[in-house]
Chain A
Amino acid sequence: MIIKLELSNEDYIKELEEKFSDIFLNNSIKSDFKNNPYTNYLIYLIDDKIVGFLNYYFMYDRMEIVNFNVLDYFQNRHIGSSLLNKLMEEAQEKDVNNITLEVRVDNEKAIYLYEKYGFKKVNIRNNYYRGVDGYLMVKEFNKNRDIYILGIESSCDETSFSIVRNGIEEIATVISSQIDIHKQYGGVVPEIASRAHIKNITYVLEECLSIANMKMENITAIAVCFGPGLIGSLLVGVTVAKTLAFLYNKPLIPVHHISGHIYANNLVKRLEFPLIALVISGGHTELILMEKDYSFKKLGGTFDDAVGECYDKVGRVLGVEYPAGPIIDKMASIGNPSYELPIPLNDDSYNFSFSGLKSAIINLVHNEEQRGNVINKEDLACSFQNIVIEILTKKTMKALKDYNIHNLILAGGVSANIGIRNKFKELCEENNINYIFPSIKYSTDNGAMIAASGYYAYLDNRLSDLTINAESIVELK
């Protein structure tokens, strides 16, 4: 019988130390248990007496055999192989990558046994055993460790598919933007967006697989943005995901849109925790605290307009075409902050409000016009953007300080704003904060961010069956 030794089995520990005293002379098993969280002992019992043992370390994704011995009298009775079998079982169960061990080069019997179990000599350790060399042997568990996630994003006016390897490496991304269609309406028209999505889906999916040189069969799992967003648009992507999951029998991972924006940064650099994420886009303005992967604590958000929405509305006042963000950003860079505007919700909370700022600008323009003054649009853009930057940086830097956090990420479409990026960069460098900004191409909606986020959801076993539904409004959890 094989059992796993525990610190509480005092009698067995004592017996083991006595029977193999040459090994345990200077190493107490108790202190090994106390000092080494990775150590494990398998003991082989005959009539409740120890006849052999296997001591190994289990470290995350690998194992190492430290000591392995059977009493002389009980050799050649398959006790050694039974112990190795038990270890293999556990290695499979724990899904480890490999098991390593060292063995004296002259211990032919042991080497024979290890080779029988698929261990291979990979290196010689000179003088490992006081004058005798040792072999480093490895058993690799040949699995395809790479996880390929197909990410699907259709929550607004971009149809996008992407394939990402292991959550960090983008293999292929195709984005079909409808921006030119919606431009003529001054904003996204939901029904038109839905109609364009269904027109695009198979083209975009096919192109994505073709760039990656992959087939659906090679995909590990399918991640889809299920909300929040425009319900008709989301439904197309969600139905594609469910259909593919059904046809190819793949796991289905629902991904929250904001989580996608956050993990867009993971494609730039692996996220370090804890971190504060400032999510700024046409639909969101949120401060989120993350202690680890897939743990989201919302610190605050906007009470009314999202910051990107505010840019679009101010854009209309300035006569700038949709989407106004990039143009206002450019105008601001050449203007002077000559107009006085109120700082909205300038308090100690982590919340935002932008509708007052928008109204202030509308009033300002109206009053100036009444007085017959010409508005300097660049100056107004600059004054507006400065206020936005001031309130965003103030609350974000406060959150970092209050929670004593040294990692900041920006996420969402507005994070592409150069003025905002520059100010955050400056403040982070001043305050010793590590920062990641998403690459400009992934600051707007895309499948890569959904796939990257989906990878960590997959590791966290956040899977769904085929009845997952799109949701226009849903909290990040």
Chain B
Amino acid sequence: MTYFYIDTSSSYLYSGIVKDGKVLAEIKQDFNKELSKYTVSEIEKLFKESNLKPIDIDKIIVVAGPGSFTGIRIGMTFAKIFAWSYSIDITTITSLEAMQASINSKKVLVPLIDARRGYVYAGVYKNGKVLLKDQYIELLKLEDFLNNLGEDYFYITNDKKFTYENKFGYNPDILNITMMYKDNKAINPHLVEPIYLKLTEAEENLGSMIYDN
């Protein structure tokens, strides 16, 4: 089986092609504000490097968020069109799932993304099992939850804003992520959508729920 992985939920392009338990080609590069400019051309290089054609892919795993709204849509658009074009199975995972799958530890893991104004996107995991579902949560509430666990835990974050001592940096292990989530149920490409975990400000102000993510 051949898997294509893509995550553009930050300013990094994380993408790779995994075949028979090996990473054939991957990229982990910070493109800053130019992520949209280079994503497709860099993926073209991955295929050249791995000597595969897009049609050789059996399943696409795309990170659906949370993270940079604009960033997510780049990888998500690519993945949707890719899956739709060649009728390739596609499944989504969250950026927090990708983070926790990249750390090899038996401890409680807390992938963490800053969402500003005292809020974060976070989930709590242990051995790949979910202790607290991925969500948009007030940091203080999250800390409460963790303190009540009665176990050691480690944050996963690259954000320098978080100065915790018990933290791992995030460097995606594309092989591990793929292996952990490869059997996720395939979704109709039409229905694949980013996970924002948060309404837009306009929607919040209006108090209406157009998107019930």
Query: Are A and B bound to each other?
Result: yes
Binding site for B on A (CB under 8 A): 181, 184-185, 189, 191-192, 194-195, 198-199, 201-203, 205-206, 216, 231-232, 235-236, 238-240, 242-248, 465-470
Check: B110 CB closer than 8 A to any chain A CB: no
Name the contact of B190 in the complex, choosing from A203, A235, A246, A466 (C-beta under 8 A).
A203
Check: B80 CB closer than 8 A to any chain A CB: yes
Binding site for A on B (CB under 8 A): 34, 36-41, 43-44, 54, 69-70, 73-74, 76-78, 80-82, 84-86, 189-190, 193-194, 196, 200-203, 206, 208, 210-211
B208–A194 touching, CB < 8 Å = no
A247–B77 touching, CB < 8 Å = no
Name the contact of A194 in the complex, choosing from B70, B202, B206 (C-beta under 8 A).
B70
A198–B73 touching, CB < 8 Å = yes
> Nearest residue in B to A242 (C-beta to C-beta)?
B40
A195–B73 alpha-carbon span in the complex (Å): 8
B82–A247 touching, CB < 8 Å = yes
A239–B78 alpha-carbon span in the complex (Å): 7
A239–B40 touching, CB < 8 Å = yes
> Chain A at the B interface: mostly helix, strand, loop or mixed?
helix
A184–B189 touching, CB < 8 Å = no
Chain A residues, Cβ within 8 Å of B210:
181, 192
A236–B73 alpha-carbon span in the complex (Å): 7
Nearest Cβ in chain A — how far from B205, in angstroms? 9
B85–A247 touching, CB < 8 Å = yes
Contacts A198-B76, A201-B80, A236-B73 supplied; 17 other A-B pairs, CB < 8 Å: A194-B69, A194-B73, A195-B69, A198-B73, A202-B189, A205-B84, A206-B84, A206-B190, A239-B78, A239-B81, A243-B82, A246-B54, A247-B54, A247-B86, A466-B40, A466-B44, A467-B38
Name the contact of A195 in the complex, choosing from B85, B86, B211 (C-beta under 8 A).
B211
A243–B81 touching, CB < 8 Å = yes
Chain B residues, Cβ within 8 Å of A192:
200, 202-203, 210
A201–B77 touching, CB < 8 Å = yes
Nearest Cβ in chain B — how far from A236, in angstroms? 5
> Nearest residue in A to B70 (C-beta to C-beta)?
A232
A236–B76 alpha-carbon span in the complex (Å): 9
Name the contact of A243 in the complex, choosing from B37, B38, B40, B202 (C-beta under 8 A).
B40
Chain A residues, Cβ within 8 Å of B189:
202
B44–A246 touching, CB < 8 Å = yes
A232–B196 alpha-carbon span in the complex (Å): 14
B74–A239 touching, CB < 8 Å = yes
Name the contact of B36 in the complex, choosing from A185, A205, A235, A247 (C-beta under 8 A).
A235
B84–A185 touching, CB < 8 Å = no
Chain B residues, Cβ within 8 Å of A184:
206, 208
A248–B40 alpha-carbon span in the complex (Å): 13
> Nearest residue in A to B84 (C-beta to C-beta)?
A202
A202–B81 touching, CB < 8 Å = yes
B43–A246 touching, CB < 8 Å = yes
Chain B residues, Cβ within 8 Å of A198:
73, 76-77, 80, 193-194
> Nearest residue in A to B73 (C-beta to C-beta)?
A198
A467–B34 alpha-carbon span in the complex (Å): 10
User: Given contacts A192-B210, A195-B200, A247-B82, are A239 and B193 in contact (CB under 8 A)?
Assistant: no
> Nearest residue in B to A238 (C-beta to C-beta)?
B36
> Nearest residue in A to B55 (C-beta to C-beta)?
A247
Nearest Cβ in chain A — how far from B191, in angstroms? 9
| 18 A-B pairs (CB sep. < 8 Å) | A181-B210, A191-B200, A191-B201, A192-B202, A198-B76, A198-B194, A199-B193, A201-B80, A201-B81, A235-B70, A239-B39, A239-B40, A239-B73, A243-B77, A243-B81, A246-B54, A247-B81, A466-B41
Chain A residues, Cβ within 8 Å of B38:
467
A469–B200 touching, CB < 8 Å = no
Name the contact of B77 in the complex, choosing from A191, A216, A236, A245 (C-beta under 8 A).
A236
Nearest Cβ in chain A — how far from B9, in angstroms? 14
> Nearest residue in A to B210 (C-beta to C-beta)?
A181
Chain B residues, Cβ within 8 Å of A240:
77, 81
Nearest Cβ in chain A — how far from B37, in angstroms? 4
> Nearest residue in A to B201 (C-beta to C-beta)?
A191
> Nearest residue in B to A192 (C-beta to C-beta)?
B200
Chain B residues, Cβ within 8 Å of A245:
40
What 5 pairs across the A-B complex have the smallest Cβ distances? A466-B41, A242-B40, A239-B77, A189-B202, A469-B37
A195–B70 alpha-carbon span in the complex (Å): 9
Nearest Cβ in chain A — how far from B96, in angstroms? 20
B85–A244 touching, CB < 8 Å = yes
Chain A residues, Cβ within 8 Å of B37:
467-469
> Nearest residue in B to A185 (C-beta to C-beta)?
B202
B74–A235 touching, CB < 8 Å = yes
Chain A residues, Cβ within 8 Å of B74:
235, 239
> Nearest residue in A to B211 (C-beta to C-beta)?
A195
Nearest Cβ in chain B — how far from A180, in angstroms? 11
A92–B2 alpha-carbon span in the complex (Å): 43
